[in-house]
Amino acid sequence: MKMRRRLKWNFGAIALSAIFILIALTSQASAAQNLLVNGDFAKGSEDQPDNWRTEAWINKPEGFVTHWHHPGTDPGEMEVNNLLANDGRWMQPLQLAPGWYQMSVDIRTENVGAKESGASISVMEDGIMSPEVKGTSGWQHEALYLKVGGHGADIDVALRVGGFGSLNTGRAFFKNARVEKIDAPPPNAAPTYDLMAIRKAGEPVPSGSWWSMVLTFVMLATIAIVGWGMFVDAPIVVEPKRKR
């Protein structure tokens, strides 16, 4: 009887330990999914969170200011305050393997202008950004979906107010920033972007039609051949030696 109770107790202890281990492993796996380093803004010193840097179109104190609000009972937050019409942001570089990614963040705004680009999480390339938050708002969760092809890509993730050629004023707060690799976006997810297609579209293309390029090449080749022939056929003039 005692042996049976002891076996039951041991089995219960083992099962309970297995549950705790499973919870710990699940928690670690969930945390590992965020490819941003310090995406919860928990680490840093003074007014600078680790692994993040600031940039702006008008990169002067009178143009914008940034702050890191240390985590306490609430998660850490990062602030961008555009004092002038600007494109101010916190940024972090990432190396991404081929595949689909979800980028998301919680955003709260104060007096962000309604006409130009608002507060968003974005990639610093050709308008890749989440839905924008403008005006004065409570916390909103915003996301975008990015497809990376080829052999992967290096990108800069930005938490920003304003955009390229669309400078704005106002203050935004960001928390819980995440970049996660996913199998594919949910049905009807928006916005979605194909990074390789965007980069290819941005590459310079030769101007003019193909036949004009061929004609230009033939003309240049003809000029080169004629010039070389004139140089070869030109008589060599030998000056007579002068008597001393």
Q: Using 50, 70 and 90 to split pLDDT, how confident is the model at 225?
A: confident
Q: Name the average pLDDT for the chain.
A: 84
Q: Using 50, 70 and 90 to split pLDDT, how confident is the model at 191?
A: very high
Give the model's pLDDT for residue 223: 76
Q: Which residues contact 48 (CB under 8 A, 6 or more apart)?
A: 68
Give the model's pLDDT for residue 115: 96
- Please give, one letter per residue, the 3-state secondary structure of 128-180: EECCCECEEEEEEEEEEEEEECCCCEEEEEEEEECECCECEEEEEEEEEEEEE
Reported as type and span, the H/E element at residue 12 is helix 2-32
Give the model's pLDDT for residue 73: 81
Please determine, for residue 233, whether its predicted confidence score (pLDDT) is greater than 80: no
Q: Where are the domains of the chain?
A: 44-201
Please determine, for residue 84, whether its predicted confidence score (pLDDT) is greater than 80: yes
Q: pTM score, two decimals?
A: 0.72
Please determine, for residue 4, whether its predicted confidence score (pLDDT) is greater than 80: no
Q: Using 50, 70 and 90 to split pLDDT, how confident is the model at 219?
A: confident
Specify the length of the chain in residues: 244
CB 86 within 8 A of CB 93: no
CA–CA separation, 196 and 199 (whole Å): 5
Reported as type and span, the H/E element at residue 112 is strand 99-112
| pLDDT: which is higher, 30 or 68 | 68
Q: Using 50, 70 and 90 to split pLDDT, how confident is the model at 204?
A: confident
Q: Which of 70-74, 95-99, 130-134, 194-198 has the lowest mean pLDDT?
A: 70-74
The string of pLDDT tens digits covering residues 144-189 is 999 999 999 999 999 999 999 999 999 999 999 999 999 999 999 9
Q: Which of 53-67, 122-136, 144-158, 226-240 has the lowest mean pLDDT?
A: 226-240
Amino acid at 148: V
Q: Using 50, 70 and 90 to split pLDDT, how confident is the model at 109?
A: very high
The fold of the 44-201 domain, in CATH, is Jelly Rolls (2.60.120)
CA–CA separation, 146 and 222 (whole Å): 50
